[in-house]
A = this chain, B = another copy of it.
Amino acid sequence: MEKEITIYDIARELSISPTTVSRGLNNHPAVNKSTKQKIFDAAAQMGYRSNAFASNLRKKRTNTIGVIVPLLNSNFQSSVMAGMEKVANEAGYNLIISQSLENAQKEIANARTMFESRVDGLLVSVAYDTENIDHFEPFFSKGIPLLFYDRVPEHKQCTSIVINNIQAAHKATTHLLEQGCQRIIHISGNHRINVYKDRLKGYKYALMDHNIASREDYIIETDLSEKAGEEAVQKILEMDPRPDGIFVANDNCAVSCIKALKQAGIAIPDDIAVVGFNNDPITRIIEPNLTSVNYPGYEMGEVAVRSLINYLDGVSDVSITNTITLNSELVVRESSQKKEKAKARLA
């Protein structure tokens, strides 16, 4: 391990003060052009690299953004990360990423680590079983900006970036109704989580708006896994009269439903129409292609980091306590478009 070059070495080399070297390297306006040039040249020639720790220690700023995500390996979350990384990188911020693995205890530990790492700001999508957000209290009390996205806590007033899940689910359900569906199942995720709670609401509101009473046995709460899809289909097939539409709260589970339904000899969409949520690439692979709500993950990541950085730079005047809602739209594909005769039969 050879010796690291410091601004003192450069200063000595050029017979100027370390202060001037520091200023020169940081492009301070009050430094003579030619001096600045000499400094840059010497730095490059001597193989200098700035020491971020010394700088951070002094400036009390890390240029680092923390991210706590439930699971990295999902299409949605990895798209979000990609968007976040792009903006952060362009703005000169580092991204420290950790996963809670859908476990509140891990999330608490991660939050502590992020706090100790002194991130300038934190982006969080909460774990499946996170009950409260006390573990983020240190961030609030220290005034470190904290921004939730996608899975956001309900009870606290905190900045969050979301889509309008109620509206999106309302559209999805309405679409099924317009296709002639009369007995629509909703396969939902954990109702404690805002996104699934809201999707359920949107489903109910849509039924209500069409003067259809929602039935408890038509609402199936699951973990949205593949297995859950198969099990839900079993239940559905035993119902009499048989449901004619399913709105599933994510694509993975919706695809699993379609596979199970096809195996049981059910025609999709004519016997049962299916709509998913997320617009993952698999929607275009399953047959029939899955109608789904487009969820702009990449864009959400971009917006999240941009908002945070704007706040850190003091650019955004708006209070940090608010909600940013991204647009989402229903992408209609074959899995939900009943043929006219099917519609007629149902009518």
Complex interface residues of chain A between 49 and 74 (CB less than 8 A to chain B): 49-54, 56-57, 62, 64, 71-74
Which of B53, B57, B82, B116 is A118 in contact with, Cβ under 8 Å? B53
Q: Are A57 and B49 within 8 A (Cβ)?
A: no
Q: Write the chain B residue with the least CB distance to A66.
A: B94
Nearest CB of chain B from residue A179's CB, rounded to whole Å: 23
Which of B57, B85, B99, B115 is A57 in contact with, Cβ under 8 Å? B57
Nearest CB of chain B from residue A226's CB, rounded to whole Å: 9
Per the bound structure, the CA–CA distance linking A310 and B72 in Å amounts to 24
Q: Are A49 and B116 within 8 A (Cβ)?
A: yes
Q: Write the chain B residue with the least CB distance to A283.
A: B285
A81 contacts B by Cβ under 8 Å: yes
A52-B116 contact in complex given A1-B142, A282-B281, C-beta closer than 8 Å: yes
Contacts of A17 in B (CB 8 A): none
Which of B64, B73, B89 is A79 in contact with, Cβ under 8 Å? B73
Q: Are A72 and B78 within 8 A (Cβ)?
A: yes
A75-B75 contact in complex given A49-B116, A99-B89, C-beta closer than 8 Å: yes
Per the bound structure, the CA–CA distance linking A286 and B259 in Å amounts to 10
A298 contacts B by Cβ under 8 Å: yes
A125 contacts B by Cβ under 8 Å: no
How many chain A residues touch B (CB < 8 A): the figure is 51
Q: Are A57 and B50 within 8 A (Cβ)?
A: no
Nearest CB of chain B from residue A124's CB, rounded to whole Å: 15
Contacts of A82 in B (CB 8 A): 71-73, 99
Nearest CB of chain B from residue A16's CB, rounded to whole Å: 23
Report which residue of A82, A259, A286 has the largest number of chain B beta carbons within 10 angstroms of its beta carbon.
Answer: A82
Per the bound structure, the CA–CA distance linking A153 and B56 in Å amounts to 34
Per the bound structure, the CA–CA distance linking A47 and B75 in Å amounts to 39
Complex interface residues of chain A between 319 and 333 (CB less than 8 A to chain B): none
A86 contacts B by Cβ under 8 Å: yes
A219 contacts B by Cβ under 8 Å: no
A27 contacts B by Cβ under 8 Å: no
Per the bound structure, the CA–CA distance linking A99 and B282 in Å amounts to 24
Q: Digit string of A20-50 for contact with B (CB within 8 Å is 1, else 0)?
A: 0000000000000000000000000001011
Contacts of A75 in B (CB 8 A): 73, 75
Nearest CB of chain B from residue A288's CB, rounded to whole Å: 11
Q: Write the chain B residue with the least CB distance to A77.
A: B78
Which of B57, B64, B85, B115 is A72 in contact with, Cβ under 8 Å? B85
Q: Are A96 and B95 within 8 A (Cβ)?
A: yes
Q: Write the chain B residue with the least CB distance to A286.
A: B285
A278 contacts B by Cβ under 8 Å: no
A110 contacts B by Cβ under 8 Å: yes
Q: Are B282 and A118 within 8 A (Cβ)?
A: no
A98 contacts B by Cβ under 8 Å: yes
A105 contacts B by Cβ under 8 Å: no
**8 residue pairs from A and B, CB less than 8 Å apart:** A2-B142, A49-B115, A51-B118, A52-B118, A72-B85, A77-B78, A89-B99, A281-B282
